[in-house]
Amino acid sequence: MKIETLAITSTTLHDEKRAVIPPIYLTTTYERKEDGTFDKDDYIYNRLDNPNRRMLEKSLAVMERGDDAFAFASGLAAAAAVFQTLRAGDHVILPDDAYYGVMVLAEDIFKDFGLQCTRVNQTDLQKVAAAITPQTRLIWVETPSNPLLKIVDIYALAKLAHQTNALCAVDNTWGTPILQNPLALGADIAMHSTTKYFGGHSDLLGGALVIKKNPILSEKLRKIQKIGGAVPSPFDCWLVARGIRTMPLRVKAQTATASKLAKFLATHSAIQTVHYPFLPTHPHHEIAQKQMQGAGAMLSIEVKGGREAAMKLANSLQLFVHATSLGGVESLIEHRKSIEGEFSQTPESLLRVSVGLEHPTDLIADFKRALKKL
Ligand SMILES: *Cc1c(COP(=O)(O)O)cnc(C)c1O
């Protein structure tokens, strides 16, 4: 079945009350049988499992074409769970421009537990190969990357990981399962901040891991999820499932608009550079076209005139709200340097754009008008 159909069939059900859309189970605990026991698939306690989370996890596995899925309270809780499967002395390879929170997890929080970490520019496969040590157990991949939309070769990186007995995990938040399937490209784990395109409406926080058949990894992750307790509430699970039903259509429409906007901005004299994976000027557009069905709804631009011009543009736009986050129905724009702090390598002139569901004509007109004021 196609992804649009799976998005519906995996998130609707016919329960004993014949509800087509699942209700939200706002209960902490579940009654035992008369003899005090539970059957295998019975619910016991909300943190361990609940009907909304079980349904969401089934859908996550279907959407990402995996075998097992784990819902978390946030994208970073999902990422942290992957690091928690490792042991002191294990070595991780991270991209040099990994999502800021993932970098802090690996290089600060888990470092104190003995995790070793090397950051590498993963567009250079030889550098990745050179960074591998006998202790390497995980290659963490993020593509497209934030905020420069660098593209790395998932297939090649997964192959490198497997040659050395390591797993390959891909942060697929920006790619979405609609445009990119890391597991089909050889990766072992697909990670998502479901806060973004899965939820799709900027009204929740959530995370997910989807894996291929791997009983040992599955058991570890399930334990970390249930006992670590960084789980989403039934209501948040319900909201993510609601978002999934329209995700294929949203992502396709937002991608089509982003692609039009990227083309327009690439020709504008006030813009220095447009970072968008399918533009022929993008340094990795060939890999992007090989592994993605669309370039996505995120882009970033470097504005001529540095920080001042970038800030002025962000504030002159009327349809793009100056705020962090991405993947919602509303378009957002953000000056990344000022949120990323002192270790940021992001240019001062860079603005990151999350393209929403507004009409492309209106979004382009908004940019035209705002760019005139520079
Ligand atoms: C937002 C985001 C995260 C973190 O997810 P949260 O839900 O905010 O914890 C991780 N990776 C990427 C690429 C993101 O965009």
pLDDT of 14 reads: 73
Distance of CA 89 from the midpoint of ligand 1 (Å): 26
- Residue 180 pLDDT more than 70? yes
pLDDT in tens, 17-56: 889 999 999 999 999 999 999 999 999 999 999 999 999 9
**How confident is the model over 85-97, as a mean pLDDT?**
97
The CA distance from 74 to 225, in Å, is 12
Percent of the chain whose pLDDT exceeds 90? 95
Q: With bands split at pLDDT 50, 70 and 90, how would you rate the model's confidence at 360? A: very high
Atom 8 in ligand 1: residue holding the nearest Cα: 75
- 266 — pLDDT class (breaks 50, 70, 90): very high
**Choice among 291-300, 304-313, 344-353 with the minimum mean pLDDT:** 344-353
Q: Which of 33-37, 259-263, 276-280 has the lowest mean pLDDT?
A: 33-37
Please determine, for residue 231, whether its predicted confidence score (pLDDT) is greater than 90: yes
Residues 162 and 168: beta-carbon distance below 8 Å = yes
Cα–Cα distance for residue pair 205/196, rounded to 1 Å: 8
Cα of 361 from ligand 1 centre, angstroms: 29
Question: What is the Å distance from ligand 1's center to 193 Cα?
Answer: 5
Closest atom of ligand 1 to 76 CA is: 9
Is 0.85 surpassed by the pTM of this model? yes
Please tell me the distance between residue 282's alpha carbon and the centre of ligand 1 in angstroms.
24
> Is it true that 3-242 and 247-371 share their CATH fold?
no
For residue 207, give the ligand 1 atom closest to its CA. Answer: 7
Note the pLDDT of residue 343: 67
Domain boundary assignment for the chain? 3-242, 247-371
- Please choose from 76, 105, 203 the residue to mutate so as to test ligand 1's pocket, defined by most ligand atoms within 8 A of CB: 76
Q: What is the mean pLDDT of the chain?
A: 96
CA quadruple 35, 40, 46, 47: dihedral positive or negative? positive
Q: What share of the chain is helix, strand, coil (3-state, %, to 5)?
A: 40, 15, 45
Q: Among 72, 170, 173, name the best residue to mutate to test ligand 1's pocket (greatest count of ligand atoms within 8 A of Cβ).
A: 173
CA neighbor of 71 nearest in space, from 189, 231, 221 = 231
| Residue 176: closest CA among 81, 294, 325 | 294
**Catalytic positions, please?**
47, 99, 171, 196
Among protein residues, the one whose CA lies closest to atom 1 of ligand 1: 193
Domain range 3-242, CATH class: alpha beta
152 within 8 A of 98, measured Cβ to Cβ:
no
pLDDT tens for 45-90 read 999 999 999 999 999 999 999 999 999 999 999 999 999 999 999 9
Closest CA to 198 of 347, 326, 52: 326
So what's the pLDDT on residue 17? 87
Residues within a 6 A CB radius of ligand 1: 74-76, 99, 101, 142, 146, 171, 173-174, 193, 195-196, 205, 207
Tell me the pLDDT band of 340, cut-offs 50, 70 and 90: confident
> What's the pLDDT at 16?
83
Domain 247-371 fold? Aspartate Aminotransferase, domain 1 (3.90.1150)
**Closest ligand 1 atom to the C-alpha of 195?**
7
pLDDT of residue 161: 98
Q: What is the DSSP string of 307-369?
A: HHHHHHHHHH-SSSEE-S---SSS-EEEESHHHH-TT----TTEEEEE--SS-HHHHHHHHHH
C-alpha–C-alpha distance, residues 205 and 327, integer Å = 12
When pLDDT is cut at 50, 70 and 90, the band that residue 15 belongs to is confident
